[in-house]
Structure 1
Amino acid sequence: MSEAASITSYSLIAADKVKGTNVYNPAGDTLGAIDDIMIDKASGRAIYAVMSFGGFLGMGEKYHPLPWAVLAYDADKGGYVVNLDKTVLEGAPNYDRDAQNAWTPDYGQKIDRYYDTPS
C-alpha cells in the first residue's frame, strides 16, 4: 500500500478506507456498506458512493449508487448516514452484483433525479 493510500485526516480519507464502511439511516439501522466510489474524471470529485444493499450471504445483493451529496459522515458511528429508509432504497436505481453496468450520462441523470440532487 502506498503512503498516500494510508493517509487520513479530518476531512480527507483514502478511497480504500471508504470501501466496507457502513451506511446507516438516521435511526441508526444499518442499510448497507460502501462497495465502491465513482469519481468524475475531469474534476476529480467523488460523485457517487456505490452501496451494497439487501441480499443474504451475497445472494440477491444489489448495488445502489448514492449521490455523494446525500451522505453525511458520522464519526461516532464510524460510517455514513443517509436520510433514507429501506423502502426508498428498494425503489432506487440499482444493479445486480454480476451486471455489467454501463455508467452512461443517462444513468447518472436517473440517479440524480431519483434522489433530487443536482446533475
Structure 2
Amino acid sequence: MADPITDKIDETHELIASDKVEGTAVYSRTNEKLGTVNHFMVDKRTGHVAYAVMSFGGFLGLGSRYHPLPWSALTYDPNLGGYVVDLTPEQLKSAPSYTSEALPNWDDQVYSHRIDEYYEGTMGH
C-alpha cells in the first residue's frame, strides 16, 4: 500500500530515499552500464553509507556477483539517471566481490580494508 507521506518526500536536492537508490544503474565513464545498486552498507555509528553493493552479471539474480563500491567512488549523473564510477568492466572483474553462495564476513576488517585498498589503488580514492 502506498504511503502518501513518504511517497511525496522520497527525494530532495540533497537527500534521496534508500528504496529509490536501490535498482539505480551504475555506469562506467564511457557510459557503459556495469550493473545496478542492489543495496548499501551503512556505518551503524555514523549513519553514513560506506559501500554501495552493485550487482553485476547473472540473469534474474542467478549467477550475479556483488561488488561493494566505496560510496565516495560514485557520482550521480542526472543525464544518465544513474551513478558513474571511474572503472572499466575489466577493473570491476578484478575487484573484490562475492556471490549469494559465498557471502563476505563484514565483521572482518580485513575484508573492508581489501575493498578500500583496491579502490585506492585503482581509482586514487
TM-score, length of structure 2 as denominator length: 0.86
Q: Secondary structure at the match of 1:27?
A: coil
- Which residue of the other structure, out of 97, 105, 112, is the alignment partner of 2:109? 105
How many residues get paired?
118
- Which residue of the other structure, out of 87, 90, 94, is the alignment partner of 2:93? 90
Q: Which residue of 2 is the match for residue 31 of structure 1?
A: 34
Q: Does 1:76 align with 2:79?
A: yes
- Structure 2 CA distance for partners of 1:9 and 1:106, relative to 1, 3 Å: same
Q: Which residue of 1 is the match for residue 69 of structure 2?
A: 66
Q: Secondary structure at the match of 2:96?
A: coil
Q: Does 1:47 align with 2:50?
A: yes
Q: Which residue of 1 is the match for residue 23 of structure 2?
A: 20
Query: For structure 1, which segment, 108-117 or 28-37, has the greater mean C-alpha deviation from structure 2 after superposition?
Result: 108-117
RMSD: 1.8
Percent sequence identity is 46
Distance 1:50 1:72 in 2: 14
Distance 1:66 1:29 in 2: 17
Distance 1:111 1:100 in 2: 14
